[in-house]
């Protein structure tokens, strides 16, 4: 099995009440460590400034293939957690790497699984979804990269995705969190929201929320709860869940979701990505 992640890495500045930490992050970062931990051939296509490569060197040290495209800047995001609810997050874009261009995305090799994991709308243009669809047996998409917009002050503003009904039929596994599902549908209830999203054509939908994960697949809903976690370990939760599910979905929906919840629970005990001993 081979999986490819596409998206910006991020310098994450996380503020938890009185505590502050600066760590490497981004959906591709957290996801790639999960798949590599289970001996899956893993590649990451990303963009950042040359001087920031050192911050993300642990990916290659872990055995992940990383293809860097040059950018004058690196995506840098400040996340403030004002309460003990990990879904209560205020994000601000400090700096953005340049969007992927056609030449870069055209050069991406095919894989069993390709996961599009952007951090902000415009990072990966919608037109590339159709091209990447042709290169993957399974195509994953994180809603964040198409709902999270950046205003003139750097504030991260969530807006509905204008082209959701056009592109979601191309997606095998669509990932949302509780906030994103409400932005897409206008519905607060997780179960009703995921049913509404299913009408737009994705084959499977993974929804993460404070206490666990909900999966919609072939008209059925499955759910698993997380175990104990820390607020500091929350960053990367959804990315960890998505990667865990993508590489275990061959086990069947129920078993794959249970394994995914176990991986996410372990990851959320501390900051940083999920790592399994004895991988390399």
| CA-based nearest residue to 132, from 98, 169, 105, 155 | 105
Residue 277 lies in a domain: no
Residue 11 lies in a domain: yes
In Å, how far from its chain's centre is CA 88?
17
Query: Which residue matches tokens 């293809």?
Result: 67
Segments in the chain below pLDDT 70? 84-87, 229, 231-232, 277-280
Q: Which domain holds residue 262?
A: 2-267
pLDDT value, residue 279: 47
Residue 123 lies in a domain: yes
- pLDDT tens figures, 20-38: 888 899 999 999 999 999 9
Decide: 75 and 11 in contact? Cβ < 8 Å.
Answer: yes
Partner residues linked to 43 by β-bridges: 4, 65
| CA-based nearest residue to 235, from 5, 10, 4, 6 | 10
pTM of structure: 0.93
Residue 275 lies in a domain: no
Residue 262 lies in a domain: yes
CATH number for the domain including 84? 3.40.1190.20
| CA-based nearest residue to 202, from 231, 181, 182, 223 | 181
Residue 274 lies in a domain: no
Query: Residue 153: which H helix or E strand, with range?
Result: none
Classify 221 as helix, strand or coil: strand
pLDDT value, residue 278: 44
pLDDT value, residue 12: 87
Contacts 24+ apart (CB under 8 A), 17-22: 17/81, 17/82, 19/232, 21/232, 21/271
Residue 272 lies in a domain: no
- pLDDT tens figures, 137-160: 999 999 999 999 999 888 989 999
Residue 244 lies in a domain: yes
Distance, CA of 114 to CA of 130 (rounded, Å): 12
The number of domains in the chain is 1
* C-alpha atoms less than 13 angstroms from C-alpha of 244 in its C-beta half-sphere: 28
């Amino acid at each position: 099995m081979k999986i490819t992640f596409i998206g910006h890495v991020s310098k994450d500045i996380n503020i938890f009440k009185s505590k502050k930490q600066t760590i490497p992050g981004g959906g591709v970062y957290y996801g790639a460590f999960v798949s590599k931990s289970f001996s899956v051939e893993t590649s990451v296509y990303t963009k950042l400034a040359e001087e920031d490569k050192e911050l993300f060197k642990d990916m290659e040290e872990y055995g992940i293939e990383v293809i860097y495209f040059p950018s004058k800047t690196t995506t840098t995001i400040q996340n403030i957690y004002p309460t003990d609810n990990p879904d209560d997050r205020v994000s601000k874009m400090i700096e953005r790497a340049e969007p992927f261009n056609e030449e870069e995305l055209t050069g991406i090799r095919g894989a069993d699984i390709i996961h599009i994991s952007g951090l902000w709308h415009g990072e990966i243009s919608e037109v590339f979804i159709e091209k990447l669809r042709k290169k993957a047996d399974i195509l994953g998409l994180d809603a964040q990269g198409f709902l999270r917009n950046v205003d003139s002050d750097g504030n991260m503003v969530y807006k509905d995705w204008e082209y959701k009904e056009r592109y979601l039929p191309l997606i095998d596994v669509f990932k949302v969190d509780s906030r994103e599902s409400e932005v897409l549908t206008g519905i607060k209830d997780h179960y009703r929201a995921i049913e509404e999203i299913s009408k737009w054509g994705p084959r499977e939908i993974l929804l993460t929320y404070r206490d666990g994960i909900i999966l919609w697949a072939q008209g059925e809903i499955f759910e698993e709860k997380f175990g104990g976690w820390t607020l500091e370990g929350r960053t990367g939760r959804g990315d960890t869940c998505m990667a865990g599910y993508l590489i275990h979905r061959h086990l069947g929906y129920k078993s794959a979701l249970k394994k995914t919840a176990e991986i996410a629970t372990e990851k959320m005990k501390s900051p940083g990505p999920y790592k399994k001993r004895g991988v390399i």
